[in-house]
Amino acid sequence: MIRDFLEIHGEYHDDKSFKDLTTLKMGGPIRHLIMPESAEDLKTIIAYLKTERIPFKIIGNGSNLICGEAEYEGVVICMKKLNTYRISEDEVYAEAGVLVPNLAMILAKQGYSCLEFAAGIPGCIGGLVYMNAGAYKGCMADVVKEVMVLKDDQLVWMNNDELKFSYRNSIFHSHPHWAVVAAKLKLERKPSEEIEELMADRLRRRRETQPLDKASAGSCFRNPDNDFAWKLIDSIGYRGFSINDVCVSEKHSNFIVNNGNGTADDYLNIVYQIQDRVKEKYQIRLVMEVEKFNC
C-alpha cells in the first residue's frame, strides 16, 4: 500500500541502501525510497506519512551523513530531483536538490558572486542550508535571503533572521520533519574571471589538503572555539589510526575515510575514542559535524 501511494508521487525504489546514497558509502538497506519532483508531491508525501505514522528521513546528496547497517523500515525522501533554479539580477532561486558546486560554477560564468566559499562542498542547497555549511570564512548564513520550508503541512517562506543560523547549525536541527524546499540567495556582480580564479585556487587547496579521492562525509568534527579539530586529533596521535576499513586520513586528520567495506560501528568507534582522549587531555568535547542516522 505504501509503495502504491509513493509511486504516484515520484521516482520510487525498493532496492537501494544508504551505501548508494551517501558519500561515505556505508549503511544498510532502505525499505522505501522516494524522489519527489515537485514541492506539491513532497507536501503530499509527508502529509501521508505523518497520517499513517510511518517514519521518514529527508536527505539530499548524503554528503554529511553516516548511517547504520540495519535496514531502515521507514521511507527515505531524497530531494535530488527538486533541482530547478532561476537567476535574476540580484538573487538566485534554487530548489533544495540543486548541487551547490554546479550552481557555483554556473553563477561564476555569468559574473555572479555568491557561492565561491562552497564550490568544493559536495552537497545540495537543502543540506547546506540545514547545516549552515561554510568554508574559507564564508557560510550560507551570509548569502541566504529566504528559505521555502514545508512545515506543519504548509509551504512558507522564512527569512534569514528566522532561521537561527549559527556555526554549523540552524533552526532545522530542532525541527527534523521540516523540509527545506528552496532558497533565495543574494547575488553580487563581479568579473567572471575574478570569481573563477578564486574558486580554482580554493579547489586546488582542497585537493592538496583533503582526501577527496576517498569516501568520506567531509570534516568529522566542528572546530572548537579558538582551535582546530585536526590539531587536537594530531596531538593525541590519531592521524592514520584505523579500525578495519575505516581510517583517520593521513592527509587531513579531521576526515575519517572509508577504504571500502567500512561500517558505521567502525566509524563511530574511532569518533568516540577521539572524543574521549581529547576530552581527557584538553577538557574539550569535540562535537560531530557529521549527522548520525539509524545507528
pLDDT tens digits, one per residue of 16-68? 999 999 999 999 999 999 999 999 999 999 999 999 999 999 999 999 999 99
What pLDDT shows up at residue 167? Answer: 93
- The pLDDT tens digits for 180-211 are 999 999 999 999 999 999 999 999 999 999 99
What pLDDT shows up at residue 80? Answer: 97
Rounded Cα gap, residues 128 and 85, in angstroms? 16
Q: Beta strands 188-189 and 242-243: pairing type?
A: unpaired
What pLDDT shows up at residue 1? Answer: 83
C-alpha cell at 256: 575519517
pTM (predicted TM-score): 0.94
Phi-psi category of residue 58: left, alpha or beta, with phi > 0 → left and psi -120 to 50 → alpha = beta
Residues labelled as active-site residues? 168, 219, 289
Mean pLDDT of all residues belonging to the chain: 96
C-alpha cell at 169: 547549525
Rounded Cα gap, residues 212 and 238, in angstroms? 19
Q: Beta strands 255-258 and 215-219: pairing type?
A: antiparallel
Residue 90, C-beta contacts closer than 8 angstroms, at least 6 positions apart: 186, 187
What pLDDT shows up at residue 197? Answer: 96
What pLDDT shows up at residue 176? Answer: 84
What pLDDT shows up at residue 89? Answer: 86
> Within the chain, which residues score under 50 in pLDDT?
none
Domains of the chain as residue ranges with CATH: 2-78 (3.30.43.10), 85-194 (3.30.465.10), 213-293 (3.90.78.10)
Rounded Cα gap, residues 151 and 176, in angstroms? 10
Alpha carbon distances (Å) from 126 to 86, 106, 140, 244, 276: 16, 18, 11, 33, 32
Helices (H), the chain: 2-8, 18-21, 39-51, 100-109, 125-131, 192-209, 229-235, 264-282
Alpha carbon distances (Å) from 73 to 6, 49, 63, 90, 175: 15, 13, 22, 44, 21
